[in-house]
Structure 1
């Protein structure tokens, strides 16, 4: 698989009368947009190719689905009225865009040195990130959105799968509801997990569809955690950060994990 072949496949599968395709050869990116509104989405081909080598056709299926859903949302008239139960926080990396393609700022809260909090209106199969234009239109305050999003987040399942490796325990939350990494904002859930942790408690959000909590009980556990988070980060549809966090009394501290050593706290 190379960029030329992948570009041709995506154009064939995403082709519609009202769509235009713009290929940036220098950046190796393909933009798919609506001819009338000129709104669209840009995908990086090298990243998809890397996933194709691991997932084959499933990697392309995921991109097609993501693009179709994103384009369906763009330009639609959404309202927050009577939608309180469908507002959720979402975690993104600090490199994620801070505004829409039209230059409208998203509603964002700072989180850690590696992550930010965005807010989304859930639309069923996809969601729309809340921006200042939508907030102004609906006359919603930032605090109201924050409170409702956190309240709705607490209603989501926190069932986790457990795995033991070399004497260390790892807990995985992967419901694929779009808000798995967002559970890191559920303070009650994290405190309850901390009560059962015997070693060091780590929290990882390598991509949007997984949350990993580690009970690190020996030196080997940190090496395992580093390899695990990097693998999830590389394979995630919405990568967030390959770094993990130490959880201590309600605080998350990003850490660098050095092979064969305990982690060093990151200095900001």
Structure 2
């Protein structure tokens, strides 16, 4: 499927009577604007096409579902149905993610690593809404309070994972389908507990928002597997974050570059 074919296909599921479509060939992004509420969202086409190759129509239906839920959240906001008593969670995004909303309001953020940044969102059940300074002013809530609430909430999440072993290396996949899998990288208690059961190098990867991978890397093959794995997840994720992984040591996250069966940390590369 090509980009324009995808756009045409979306139009059969999301009627042009309700939405206007603006496809930018240069950036390969599609902007949908809801005619009634006058707000829009922008989606990147390549990740959807990559998922379509694997999941076919299921991938399209997932995108349509996300779009519908996002606009429903916007309608709730406009109707005044979002308030600070709802659950607030941290969400991880790449540092290239916009710092302001489409309306020009600054998002509530916190620095994380050179590759990632923390945003904050109010949970709406099937979706969430990123918090910006205008919303906090209306609610008379301080940013520090939002951050404290969010960390408390992420610590309360259940932490189920699946285990896979490859060439003597163990990988733990956190994929709970709650929208906050990558956010678990902020749960220091969870990371410390995982560290106790790891005998090699502990790596953490958040290639997209719906997965966190913790690796117990015991040989160079493990790093090659990790690099391929994170790049694959980064490519097919609806909200990609970073294809880089991190070494976790003494509570710190150090980005690593994996090349040609050798691992090179950012620190060593600069020497």
Q: Is the 8 A contact 2:47 2:237 kept in 1?
A: no
* 2:224 match: 223
* 2:166 match: 165
Structure 1 residues 26 and 191 mapped into 2: Cα distance closer, same or farther (>3 Å)?
A: closer
* 2:233 match: 232
> Which whole-Å deviations, capped at 9, do the CAs of 1:224-263 have from their partners, x for residues lacking one?
1111111111111111000000001110011101221133
Counterpart check, 1:79 vs 2:93: no
Distance 1:245 1:36 in 2: 44
Q: Is the 8 A contact 1:180 1:208 kept in 2?
A: yes
Aligned-residue Cα RMSD (Å) equals 1.6
Give the match's secondary structure for 1:257: strand
Q: TM-score, normalised by structure 2?
A: 0.93
Q: CA deviation at 1:30?
A: 2.4
Gaps of 5+ in 1: none
Q: Is the 8 A contact 1:258 1:264 kept in 2?
A: no
Give the match's secondary structure for 2:191: helix
Q: Is the 8 A contact 2:48 2:236 kept in 1?
A: no
> Which whole-Å deviations, capped at 9, do the CAs of 1:143-196 have from their partners, x for residues lacking one?
111111111111101122111111111111100100000000000110111111
Q: Mapping of 1:1-268 within 5 angstroms? A: 1-15=1-15, 17-75=17-75, 76=77, 77-83=80-86, 86-266=87-267
Distance 2:222 2:84 in 1: 47
Distance 1:265 1:27 in 2: 29
Structure 1 residues 190 and 8 mapped into 2: Cα distance closer, same or farther (>3 Å)?
A: same
Q: TM-score, normalised by structure 1?
A: 0.94
Q: Is the 8 A contact 1:79 1:134 kept in 2?
A: no
Distance 1:261 1:28 in 2: 34
Count residues with an aligned counterpart: 266
> Which whole-Å deviations, capped at 9, do the CAs of 1:5-59 have from their partners, x for residues lacking one?
2111111211163422223344343221122443111223333223212221112
Deviates more, 1:92-101 or 1:109-118: 92-101
Q: CA deviation at 1:79?
A: 3.5
Distance 1:107 1:39 in 2: 20
Gaps of 5+ in 2: none
